[in-house]
Amino acid sequence: MMDNLLPEVAAARKSEYGIDPIFLNRWSTRAFSSQAVKDEDLYGVLEAAHWAPSGSNEQPWRFIIAKTPEQRETFLQFISPFNQEWCKEAPVLLLLLSRKVNEAGKASPSHALDAGTAWGYLALEATRRGLSTHAMGGFDRAAAQSALQVPEEYEPQIVIALGYRGDENQLSERNRSREIPNTRKPLSEIVFEGRFPQP
């Protein structure tokens, strides 16, 4: 199955154990094409996201989509200049929110984790469909909440750029040098048996 790795991924990534290549093929590109994303694909990746697991099946995630020039311009006003530099080319931007309270009106301890799981499902389905994604934490959350009239019970988590991979030569020099699939720490640094390792 590892024969299905994208060429740029095969040169940069190697898993320690056998896994489906989709996990390695998903990486956060910054070079986006302006090619439109069909609604069938956009809503297909959102369909995948909404099947993510969540605490007590609360499904606290919400997505606000920006795909028209006017909608995207509104999003760009609260995205940091560093991220605007490259994400302005993406044909779709999405704001991922999570509901901070559960159906009983009590604080939800897992709302952010659950929303992150939905983002992971979205990213993998996008990869399966030949699309690229990049999640951004660099945006003004209060400005996003105000501009998009988000109720206080929802917390903005990330902005996601979605589209087809573009020409990396359109990027600034600093971003062009980062336009490669990155690696991961070895499992031995993040997985511990029995207890946390002691110094």
Q: How many angstroms separate the CA atoms of 23 and 13, rounded?
A: 10
pLDDT tens readout for residues 46-59 = 999 999 999 999 99
The pTM assigned to this predicted structure is: 0.96
* pLDDT value at 145 more than 60: yes
Instruction: Collapse the DSSP code of 66 into the 3-class scheme (helix H, G, I; strand E, B; otherwise coil) and give the result.
Output: strand
Q: How many angstroms separate the CA atoms of 25 and 8, rounded?
A: 9
- Can you give the pLDDT at residue 2? 59
Mean pLDDT across the chain:
96
pLDDT band at 36 (very low <50, low <70, confident <90, very high): very high
Q: How many angstroms separate the CA atoms of 114 and 51, rounded?
A: 11
- Can you give the pLDDT at residue 3? 72
Q: How many angstroms separate the CA atoms of 161 and 174, rounded?
A: 19
